[in-house]
């Protein structure tokens, strides 16, 4: 498959965007009282709310990283073709 430079840049941007957004979301989830059994942040055991969101965040970061790396590889391939 051949990517244009424009699509390669778009993919790198999507990968970068995931690393800007999802860690901030992780902090918000951690500080949410619904994430902890006692309702006090960081105390008690984590609830399903925290675990499900942690899984969502991890999967999104993995997918975003893969998309970003595809963009980098596409950019390098487009540069070598010229």
Q: What is the pTM of this model?
A: 0.86
Give start and end residues of each alpha helix (H) in the chain. Answer: 5-30, 48-81
pLDDT above 80: residue 1: no
**Residues 6+ away with beta carbon under 8 Å from 57:** 22, 23, 25, 26, 29
Residues in the chain: 82
Estimate to the nearest angstrom the gap between the alpha carbon of 28 and the chain centroid: 15
- The answer to whether the CB of 47 falls within 8 A of the CB of 36 is yes
- Taking the C-alpha atoms of residue 26 and residue 46, their distance in angstroms, rounded to an integer, is 14
pLDDT tens-digit readout, 12-71: 999 999 999 999 999 999 999 999 999 899 889 999 999 999 999 999 999 999 999 999
């Amino acid at each position: 498959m051949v990517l244009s430079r424009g699509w390669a840049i778009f993919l790198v941007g999507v990968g970068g965007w995931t690393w800007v957004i999802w860690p901030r979301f992780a902090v918000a989830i951690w500080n949410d009282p619904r994430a902890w059994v006692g309702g006090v942040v960081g105390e008690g055991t984590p609830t399903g709310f925290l675990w499900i969101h942690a899984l969502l965040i991890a999967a999104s970061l993995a997918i975003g990283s893969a998309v970003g790396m595809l963009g980098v590889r596409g950019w390098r391939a487009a540069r070598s073709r010229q």
